[in-house]
Structure 1
């Protein structure tokens, strides 16, 4: 077992022996990343005002470069990207599209610094992981990078270097905060199962072996000087693989958890859980979720797994099910408030 694989187990042992050792406070809540609208100053105010573990908001409504793929592709080192037919691809040299992505991120970091420069708690930033990027960024000659294992390795190493610098920059801007990095890997189960369609749509790329995927993710996790949460809002999240990457936690949509045993094994081994317990879209009629409803959803899962309640508030962070870019401003605030108050309820039990 490598040092990286031992991280969650060591955290669990430390927690049992000396009290909470997680890189977040007990009874914490956070967001997944995206928010509605185009006003980064307002989005950052909401996140800082509502969440014990605030994050740098992502506003994909601003267009290319603010989207999940473009924002992270802009962090690649010596692999410039550009838009072609509304898709991101590797470019021969830096151009306007890359400058736009970097300008948007710089603007967001400036707002973060202005509003959270003296923040002393845990602050989270997000980036797309290497496998999802490889399934959404094209080679210069066409086709997703996933088709070429050598290109995927190069992409991963470039991303690892870029994220190392990104985390270091956030830490300089927030010198009193603990920086937490969330790696978004929504395509991970599809990549492992060989369900990523080719550009023609008539076939699919070969599955990436579990060991290869683990190694790629571990390259990124081990490169950044920060705890890492791996987020996947899909079914069949490979939790054993997540554990082996060295991530300290996994972020899941609880509505998509079909099998309890893998979740229980991961938690028992010391993996933290970002529990996506509040719907990201309002119901057709009625109000958003209450804090009691969100807390009940987390509590019921925990009880079904059979763990003592005393561990829940320390090991679990309450979150929305996924990003909130498709919500209204009012609903997004309602959901974040419900998650915050649900975390407090769980901590008081």
Structure 2
């Protein structure tokens, strides 16, 4: 059945973690019959440093301590207060999950910044981005793989019935491959990373996810050129924000890559924008249904394959209120219901 999930970011402060996790689980449980729910670990990024995506991923790195520097998170010589705070926030999230998801049995997704985006956003201790150093980025991928394995073990210890799904967030993978990221000085660009190296950087992390008995989704944002390396690295699914791919979600080259991936039994996690709202008829959910279904039909993909698609909201540049997030989940449920009906027709 067509499924609905989410990335994780959710509005709220340090006292709101349990409430947010309960809200997400309850709202997903209320989706229409015939739609699968994939609950997600909430990430309250408003809590400050350590709750942000790079800080959260940095806290997972095995034997690679991090701290906050002038330009953001960077590798450190030894563990410090910044890393301890990030780890404490992550532990609080897991404790809230254990309470909210007590007795839950089913898929549960957690989003983690992927190795290439992390290498692009994390700075080395005394130089440029980690991405600029071949050895450093290789060590980073290995440290993330080891730390993620431990994180998944903690999740299954807290929620024994969970079947973890890891979303590796890679919105900068396209820029890494294109060689457009600026150096520390800003006067030059880092060299592009060729496709085979992209695959090699993703593979150890995806392998660690699989070794832990979990499923790996590589979410690329609008970077559809990242689909082939994600597939070659062993991803079980790829994620795309369809509104960023092209008008009404259509881009022939992008959907050709999606079609090839589905032929290899690699799933699609489709990110959809907020529904436009008409004063007369409310949310225009038909537009969102067509954003997925029309390109699917144009590529000649079998209609019953829509049952394997997972929907989630496209990542926002800024968080909105809780009510807007809840409404978006409800709308996605109705869109998923319509797609499931098309799959069964």
| TM superposition score normalised by structure 2 | 0.88
Deviation, structure 1 residue 286: 9.7
Q: For 1:166 and 1:286, how far apart are their aligned partners in 2?
A: 47
Matched, 1:316 2:309: yes
Deviations along 1:170-201, one digit per CA (max 9) or x if unpaired, are 11111112111110111100001101111111
Deviation, structure 1 residue 56: 0.3
What residue in structure 1 maps to residue 56 of structure 2? 71
CA root-mean-square deviation = 2.0
Q: For 1:60 and 1:144, how far apart are their aligned partners in 2?
A: 23
Bigger RCO (CA 8 Å, 6+ sep): 1
1:199-210 residue pairs with structure 2 within 5 A?
199-210=184-195
Q: For 1:49 and 1:324, how far apart are their aligned partners in 2?
A: 25
Q: For 1:232 and 1:175, how far apart are their aligned partners in 2?
A: 29
What residue in structure 1 maps to residue 225 of structure 2? 237
Matched, 1:125 2:110: yes
Matched, 1:29 2:24: no
Deviation, structure 1 residue 47: 1.6
Deviations along 1:180-235, one digit per CA (max 9) or x if unpaired, are 11101111000011011111111111111211110110111001221100011133
Deviations along 1:273-305, one digit per CA (max 9) or x if unpaired, are 01112339x789999845444333222222122
What residue in structure 2 maps to residue 165 of structure 1? 150
Q: 2:297 aligns with which of 299, 303, 317?
A: 303
Q: Is the 8 A contact 1:135 1:146 kept in 2?
A: yes
For structure 1, which segment, 29-38 or 58-67, has the greater mean C-alpha deviation from structure 2 after superposition?
A: 29-38
Structure 1 residue matching 2:3: 3-state secondary structure: coil
Q: Is the 8 A contact 2:183 2:190 kept in 1?
A: yes
Q: For 2:66 and 2:3, how far apart are their aligned partners in 1?
A: 36
What residue in structure 1 maps to residue 337 of structure 2? 344
Structure 2 residue matching 1:303: 3-state secondary structure: helix
After TM superposition, the runs of 4+ consecutive aligned structure 1 residues lying more than 3 A away are 282-293
Q: 2:23 aligns with which of 41, 46, 57?
A: 46
What residue in structure 2 maps to residue 266 of structure 1? 261
| TM superposition score normalised by structure 1 | 0.87
Q: 1:328 aligns with which of 297, 321, 328?
A: 321
Deviations along 1:15-41, one digit per CA (max 9) or x if unpaired, are xxxxxxxxxxx1210012211222222
Structure 1: which 5+ runs fail to align?
1-25
Structure 1 residue matching 2:326: 3-state secondary structure: helix
- The aligned length equals 322
Q: Is the 8 A contact 1:230 1:249 kept in 2?
A: yes
Q: For 2:280 and 2:141, how far apart are their aligned partners in 1?
A: 44
Q: Is the 8 A contact 1:183 1:231 kept in 2?
A: yes
